[in-house]
Amino acid sequence: MPSSLTPLSLTPILGGRHHLTGTTECELDRYTKPDQHISDIPFSRTPTPSSPHGSSCKRSKCKQTNGLHLPGCSSYRYEHHLGCGSEAFVYQCGTHALKAPKILNLTLLDEKERRRAEYYNKGNREALEREKEVYKRVGRECDGVAECVDILDEGILLVCYKKGDLERYITEEKEVDESIKTTWILSAISTIHHLHHVSKVLVYDIALRNFLLTDDLLTLKMIDFGQASVFPPDTDITTANDDGTTVQVDIFHLGCIIYSIMLWQSYHNDLAHHDWVPPPIEDLPKLDGLGPWGEIIKKCWSCQYRSSKELHDEVLALFQPSTPNSLFARGWMSLILDLFSRMFWSSG
């Protein structure tokens, strides 16, 4: 994986997707538990100008409280273990969520297992560094990405969204009305458009579990960029390719998100399992009764969009939000009011 900026527009600064060949998640998980992982986190942090008291804080205090040394010389206890993916653990720290790499304890492993675990640990640390780079690129410019509070040596500190992820919500909660569904879809499309064309990031892992809901249920917040590909700022993202990950792959996966929201059922089809080639449209779920979204999903699944900008522009033309910025920050209420207004006049 290249570590420095390259002039080749097709080569990412930080590439995505690492794999531990021949080792299953279950085999590796038996070596680590959330509590074990807490003790493996290095409780050190290089003092920064934003934390003037950092140099005087005692690391031993953080270890004794089983907390994490955060900016401002404060220690937070791990209140809850929020989740565990293939590459990281997520813990609640007050009103925030800390994402830290999933590190296997090497102490009890034989030589063969140790080598495999070291490779696994290295990949997980690299995935976290890649995710840090995405948050640095995005900054506070994209309303559809989870708010990053700080980037620490130990991990990434994010705002904690208590409503949970979209997959859980669709699986467990009552179906929402079509105006809310439309709002969510537009939020997801806007976010991917920004990541592609402003941040120059290909996401790859676009799935329901990686969209969190805000308290008002009006905005999706995207998380988990450990498998993303970060390209130089002058890249033509429409031609970018990182070992199979392209704009069309992201758009295909985004089509699965749109389908899942509209049908109120979880659906995901990973193109990595199809050698990066979309299956024939007749082998994919039927799109009858979905109105204009059915045609949009079909175009996502058949690579008819050259870029997420084309998708974004088509959606803008279809839904005609009341202000030019209504698909972006602070524009969701205007979109909903516009939808209700059109529904009222059409019924009259």
Q: Domain limits of the chain? A: 25-159, 166-347
Between 222 and 41, where is the model more confident? Answer: 222
pLDDT at site 67? 35
Give the residue ranges of DSSP H helices in the chain. 25-29, 34-40, 59-64, 111-138, 166-172, 178-197, 247-263, 292-301, 308-319, 332-347
pLDDT at 123 over 60: yes
**Lowest mean pLDDT: which of 87-91, 166-170, 190-194?**
87-91
d(CA 69, CA 73): 7
- Mean of the pLDDT values across residues 133-143? 94
d(CA 329, CA 99): 25
pLDDT at 37 over 60: no
Domains 25-159 and 166-347 share a fold: no
Percent of the chain clearing pLDDT 90 (strictly above): 59
pLDDT digits (tens, 9 = 90+) for 252-309: 999 999 999 999 999 999 999 999 999 999 999 999 999 999 999 999 999 999 999 9
Please count the other Cβ atoms lying within 10 Å of the Cβ belonging to residue 94: 13
pLDDT at site 66? 35
Between 148 and 10, where is the model more confident? Answer: 148
pLDDT at site 326? 46
Q: Average pLDDT, whole number, for the chain?
A: 78
d(CA 262, CA 105): 43
pLDDT at site 63? 30
Instruction: Give just the sign of the alpha carbon dihedral 10, 244, 23, 211.
Output: positive
- Mean of the pLDDT values across residues 217-221? 93
pLDDT at site 105? 87
- Mean of the pLDDT values across residues 310-336? 64
DSSP string, 254-309: HHHHHHHHHHTS-----GGGGTT-PPPGGGSPP-TT-THHHHHHHHHHTT--SSHH
**pLDDT tier at 335 (50, 70, 90 boundaries)?**
low
d(CA 317, CA 250): 21
* Assigned token pair, 193: 């458009």
d(CA 302, CA 262): 19
Maximum C-alpha span of the chain:
75
Architecture of the domain spanning 166-347: Orthogonal Bundle (1.10)
pLDDT digits (tens, 9 = 90+) for 155-186: 999 999 989 999 999 999 999 999 999 999 99
Architecture of the domain spanning 25-159: 2-Layer Sandwich (3.30)
Query: CA nearest 141: which of 197, 185, 212?
Result: 197
> Across-strand partners of 249?
none
pLDDT at site 83? 80
* Mean pLDDT comparison of 45-54, 90-99, 136-145, highest-scoring range: 136-145
212 in helix, strand or coil?
A: strand
Ramachandran category for residue 243: left, alpha or beta (phi over 0 → left; psi -120 to 50 → alpha) = left
- Mean of the pLDDT values across residues 302-323? 87
Please count the other Cβ atoms lying within 10 Å of the Cβ belonging to residue 41: 23
Pairing verdict, β 156-159 and 229-230: unpaired
